[in-house]
Structure 1
Amino acid sequence: MSGLLLRLAGPLQSWGERSAFTPVRETAPFPTRSALVGMFAAAEGIARGDTAGLTKYEQVRLTVRIDRPGTLLEDYHTVGGGFPKERTAATSGGSNKDAAVITRRQYLTDAVFVVAVTAPDDLTAQLAAALRRPCWAPYLGRRSCPPDEPFLLRRYVDDPESELLTGVPLTVPEPRDAAGQTVAVQFLRERARPQSSPGAAADVIEINDMPVSFAPHGRAHSGRRLYRTVEPVSRALAGPQKSLLTRLIDYAYAEEQA
């Protein structure tokens, strides 16, 4: 097993969880498995209706480090207002609504997540190649939310989960107090940590975001369990925000120079 590291950052992110085709399009407070698997499949050119093509991603384990949770933003949308009936939004019965369709779409602003993607070596290589030269461009939950660079931090890491604790720069300023060598950071894991590990005590979250099918008229998901922990991360990974981009680029390109 090996893996890669992704940094999900940008002005806006939106990780739909349970609100498809409803007036309020909510966002989960973290990247969902459905969205990340969809990102991988899109990068590899797997069509939405290719349900069999998704089975290989069952081998993938995802760990999310929440550097910055962001701020919830709700955007008010209208579609079709002020037009004749025949030009308003269509209904499922084949007619037209004869009125504007109103939705409220939620986003996370200025959020930053770092994701450790652990998989068998051959699948890690496939994903790394696809994400570096994607068939369809990655986005942060919605097409209107492109990721910042650097996006693919490392393409091959022996233990990407440990790298979240010891290697990847934090998008948080270094604490002003001189005491302590660590910073408390929130993690979301798909398997519980050993009880002897720092920060092992976890809140258990049930979420319905395991993709079964992305078919446009047959989307389906199943449930999974997440373990939310607060863990100590090396203080050395934090630092002045004005040098953050330099630190991230240095970290990402260190792999190229090794």
Structure 2
Amino acid sequence: MSEHANVLTLCLAGPLQSWGASSRFARRTTERAPTKSGVLGLLAAAQGRDRSADVSDLAQLRFAVRLDQPGTRMRDYQTATHGDTHKSMPISERFYLADAVFVAAVEGDRNLIDALHKAVRAPVYLPFLGRRSCPPSRPLALGVHRSGLWRALETERWQASAWVQRRRIRERRVELEALVDLTVGAERAEGPGDVVRDQPLSFDPRHRRYGTRTVRSHTVVVAHPLGTHRKPFTPPAHDPMSLLED
């Protein structure tokens, strides 16, 4: 078995998520799916890494995200007052994904994957979905797969909400979009992908740096849970704020 056949899968579900890749000034946008920098930042926080810590080992992980429930894009306006002068600051626009559910997957060295799995089950810092105002509504860790990235995306249970699953009850198998890192040499075989700038180089607030990576959209087919078990999906109980209790 390849040392890079180890995959950690995460469920990213919450009332609101926001995954910015090119936000500037008073307009804070969100991508339509979790970014690699956002998910790796979540994992680094779970391990308790300082913002100035080296993240080159995390950056080398192959990343993919499956869009189980794309959600709805929404816009919010926020106002603020300067702490010293008490003057009103410019109104800012904040964009979010409402009622979305994703399955994120990272593939890499077995020891690192196992360490990350342990960290997300008992995180040092409270995890959030892109912004501090967006806590997860379910436990993050889904599991560790030893059979590679594609197999993990194909076998991980469809994580959409119960009402979404009921709307597609006639489908025995469900087609889902997945955004996957292109490996070196894959572009020649599969064709060009989309270049995005969310490859983290440094999370240091004094000098945040991001590189580019190439991703490609694929269709992943998974079994419909209600089509096989005829039992409504019930998300596990989860209180993210319990981590703050003694």
TM normalised by structure 1 equals 0.78
Provide Cα deviations, 1:52-111, integer angstroms capped at 9, x if missing partner. Answer: x20111331111110111111111001018x9xx433xxxxxxxxx43331010000001
Structure 1 gaps, min length 5: 89-97, 250-258
In 2, Cα distance between equivalents of 1:70 and 1:166:
22
* C-alpha deviation, 1:149, in angstroms: 1.4
Q: Report the counterpart of residue 6 of structure 1 in structure 2.
A: 10
8 Å contact from structure 1 (residues 203, 228) kept in 2: no
> 3-state DSSP class of the match of 1:79?
coil
The reply to whether residue 137 of structure 1 matches residue 119 of structure 2 is no
Which residue of 8, 15, 23 maps to 2:26? Answer: 23
* C-alpha deviation, 1:28, in angstroms: 0.7
Which residue of 175, 179, 204 maps to 1:184? Answer: 175
Structure 2 gaps, min length 5: 238-246
2:18 partner letter: S
1:16 partner letter: G
8 Å contact from structure 2 (residues 48, 124) kept in 1: yes
> In percent, how many aligned pairs have the same letter?
34
In 2, Cα distance between equivalents of 1:238 and 1:14:
32
In 2, Cα distance between equivalents of 1:177 and 1:114:
23
8 Å contact from structure 2 (residues 176, 219) kept in 1: yes
Which residue of 196, 200, 203 maps to 1:207? Answer: 196
Once superposed, what is the RMSD of the aligned Cα atoms?
2.8
Q: How many residues align?
A: 225
1:37 partner letter: L
Q: Report the counterpart of residue 119 of structure 1 in structure 2.
A: 108
Distance of aligned partners of 1:238 and 1:151 in 2 relative to their CA distance in 1, 3 Å threshold: farther
Larger radius of gyration: 1
Which residue of 33, 37, 41 maps to 2:36? Answer: 33
In 2, Cα distance between equivalents of 1:235 and 1:68:
13
TM normalised by structure 2 equals 0.81
The reply to whether residue 158 of structure 1 matches residue 180 of structure 2 is no
8 Å contact from structure 1 (residues 170, 238) kept in 2: no
